[in-house]
Structure 1
Amino acid sequence: MSRDNSKYKDSLNRSLDYVATLALQETLPSEVELTQRLSISRTTVRAVLSHLDEIGVIQWSGRHKIVLRKPETGDYFAKEETLSTSERVETRFMEYILGGDLKPGTILHESDMVREFGASTSVLREFLIKFSRFGLIEKEPNRHWVLRGFTRDFAMELFDVREMFELRAFWALLAGGREGAAWQALVAMEQAHQDIIDTIDQNYLSFPRLDEQFHRILSDNLSNRFIDDFFELVSVIFHYHYRWNKQDEHERNLVAAQQHLAVIDALKIGDKDLALSHFQTHLNAARSTLLNSVSWDVET
């Protein structure tokens, strides 16, 4: 395995997410099916299976792979260990602008960020150019970048687009019917959500991973490169908690998990109208959560 084994660690985490959707004593599919489901090589699948067997999550003997226990938080690699070089730059940048005291109008120097992030100029510049499309930063002459800020107006515009895309994705899921892959994938998340709800006092901080997986199933189902690109920003903004009010995080995550489960329950019984109604309720709550929980920059 290469020195930079972030892809393997990400594959292992995604495999754990998948195993979490299965029942105890349930059999995992073949190695070939796992390579397709997880979009990884057969060599990586075998390395992942070996590790899962070693830590007691599954029992692997020949073609038989049986789930022995549910994955726990300690089984996962930390998020930062699963990131590629460009993703690590993204993480450091978001920490830099959202976790610090930078105000709208702040000048960002490439040379300073290269030193701060430990990245090459080319990798940093590629990220900044890509990220500038969303309006949080803007290029100035002489390699200067200007921080425009995470304002309330910016967040509302972002959420409006998110809602349009996610509703379109949910309609596509419903149109695909109960046998569709996305429909089945959401239903398969029932137990993972119930486990979070049942142990919310201990595991409420694990919900963002489950939340991202839930919404990623919807966006991936559309197979639209532009929506995929947009959801990179959604993931960055909506799953960064550096500036969120932590006081009611436990309750927010419990309510969101219950809303997900309501959608899943409606899908299980095949009630499309009820599923859509619950999903709209969830989006409305997510909008309110964003407005009530984020520390806002002030337009200058």
Structure 2
Amino acid sequence: MKGNTVFKRSYNQCLRQLAGHPIGAALPSESEFSQLLDVSRTTVRAVLASLAKAGIASGGVGGRVLQRHPLATDYFPDMQTLSAGAAVERRFMEWILQGDFRAGQLLNAAELARQFGTSTTTIREHLAQFQHFGLLERRPNSAWLYKGVTPDFAAEIYDVREMFELRATRNFIELANDSPPWRELDVIEAEHRALLANIDTEYQSFPQLDERLHRLIHETSGNRFIIDFYDIVSTFFHYTYRWNRSDEKQRNTIALLEHLDYIEALRSRDQRAIDARCRKHLRTARATLARSIAFGPFRVPSSPVGVSS
């Protein structure tokens, strides 16, 4: 299982690297891929074999070359690329944000461990982390009170997101023009324009594109706290948005246009312009979040509803 996770994570990472290469470009050697992906050559060979099978890369006179750019359907789902601990964390967050669980309900660590197929120790570690974020409160007898995603909680997580993303843009614009993140940004921008041209029928595919753009920016920070925090932010924002789909096409169209303005500012390397476009886009995201929260399950009952142990 672990090896399979490493392979899938490396495969996705490789696709992101290749997204910015021109068609017909030579691929790095096995040794170079091994260093780039920080995995063994055995894993690299498995990745390259899968690229060939998918028609993304093939052998040529001078070695392997890029045959086509990766599509969204070529990537493994995020859940399949996470470590066991990270997968539990993501599944727990998704479960909480699905809207079926109410603020004021009690959680039992042993029952959650059975539900998610993991150990009680692992569950308790992640519950403690969400306690730190203010989503949970420790109660006697191994119980945890779910406090709900309140407007105050959303405002706090938004403030940290803005601070981290603005910091990450400073690292991004210091990268060389031919670096992989800039090449990937080219591909992401092209996909934005393609989606905008077909927004009437394809608007529901925007969240994946949104995830790729913001994650690309955060990951260039090289700061593990910023990168790890974005996992929480991404899951939180995208699942919360699902609580209100009444204006989904309209808000996704606005976000696409703001993304293109944001990308244009990044290309200018003008930090004042970048800050202005970033803040404008995140203000829109904050307003969308507030509207979604108004539809969410936040009415706290007069007495907690227990979850059987």
**Aligned residue in 2 for 1:279:** 278
Question: Which aligned pairs between 1:147-226 and structure 2 lie closer than 5 A?
Answer: 147-174=146-173, 176=174, 185-186=181-182, 188-199=184-195, 200-201=198-199, 203-226=202-225
Helix, strand or coil at the partner of 1:188: helix
CA contact (8 A) 2:131 2:137 kept: yes
Name the CA distance, whole Å, in 2 between partners of 1:189 and 1:170: 13
Question: Displacement, 1:206?
Answer: 4.2
Which AA in structure 2 matches 1:64? G
Whole-Å Cα distance in 2 between the matches of residues 164 and 260 of structure 1?
Answer: 18
Q: Bigger CA drift: 267-276 or 95-104?
A: 267-276
How much does 1:44 deviate? Answer: 1.7
Q: Is the 8 A contact 2:240 2:289 kept in 1?
A: no
Write the letter of the residue equivalent to 2:169.
F
Q: Which amino acid in the other structure matches residue 192 of structure 1?
A: I
Distance (Å, rounded) in 2 between the aligned partners of 1:168 and 1:47: 36
After TM superposition, give the deviation of residue 192 of structure 1 in Å. Answer: 2.6
1:185 counterpart letter in structure 2? P
- 1:108 aligned counterpart, secondary structure: strand
> Partners of 1:113 and 1:240 in 2: how far apart?
20
Q: Is the 8 A contact 1:196 1:203 kept in 2?
A: no
User: 2 CA distance for matches of 1:89 and 1:29?
Assistant: 34
Deviation at 1:230, TM superposition (A): 2.7
Query: Which runs of structure 2 are paired with 1:219-258 in the superposition (5 Å)?
Result: 219-240=218-239, 243-258=242-257
Q: Quote the residue 1:94 is aligned against.
A: 93
CA distance in 2, matches of 1:276, 1:209: 23
Percent same amino acid among aligned pairs? 40
CA distance in 2, matches of 1:227, 1:111: 31
CA distance in 2, matches of 1:98, 1:120: 22
- CA deviation profile, 1:169-208 (whole Å, cap 9, x unmatched): 223444x365595xx6145312233224314446544443
1:131 pairs with 2:130:
yes
How far off its partner does 1:71 sit?
Answer: 2.0
CA distance in 1, matches of 2:45, 2:250: 39
Classify 1:73/1:178 alpha carbon distance in 2 versus 1 (closer, same or farther; 3 Å). Answer: closer
Q: Contact 1:8–1:44 at 8 Å: present in 2 too?
A: yes
Deviations 1:273-294 (A, max 9, x none): 4333322222222222222234
Kindly provide the amino acid, as one letter, of the partner of residue 30 in structure 2: E
Three-state SS of the structure 2 residue aligned to 1:240 is helix
Aligned equivalents of 2:11 and 2:39: distance in 1? Answer: 10
> Paired residue for 2:307?
none
- Alignment deviations for residues 47-95 of structure 1 (CA, whole Å, 9 cap, x no partner): 1111111110111348623222222333222333223322332233123
Residue 80 (1) aligns with residue 79 (2): yes
8 A contact 1:187–1:268 mirrored in 2? no
Q: Describe the shift of the 1:265–1:26 C-alpha distance in structure 2 as closer, same or farther (beyond 3 A).
A: farther
Per the alignment, in what secondary structure is the counterpart of residue 239 of structure 1? helix
Deviates more, 1:89-98 or 1:158-167: 89-98
Tell me the equivalent position of 1:288.
287
For residue 10 of structure 1, report the CA deviation from its aligned partner. Answer: 2.0
User: Which residue of structure 1 lines up, in the alignment, with residue 64 of structure 2?
Assistant: 65
More displaced stretch, 285-294 vs 138-147: 285-294
In structure 2, how many angstroms separate the alpha carbons of the residues matched to 1:79 and 1:232?
10
Distance between the aligned counterparts of 1:192 and 1:225, measured in 2? 23
Question: In structure 2, what is the Cα distance between the partners aligned to 1:149 and 1:217?
Answer: 29
Unaligned runs of 5+ in 2: 302-309
**Bigger relative contact order, structure 1 or 2, given CA contacts below 8 A and separation 6+?**
2
Aligned CA distance change for structure 1 residues 251 and 187 (closer, same or farther; 3 Å): farther
State the SS of the aligned residue for 1:146.
strand
Structure 1 gaps of 5+ residues are none
Q: CA deviation at 1:299?
A: 5.8
1:47 aligns with 46
1:56 aligns with 2:42: no
Q: How many aligned residue pairs are there?
A: 296
What one-letter code is carried by the residue in structure 1 that aligns with 2:214? H
TM-score by length of 2: 0.82
Q: What is the Cα deviation at residue 100 of structure 1?
A: 4.2
Q: Give the deviation of 1:26 after TM superposition.
A: 2.7
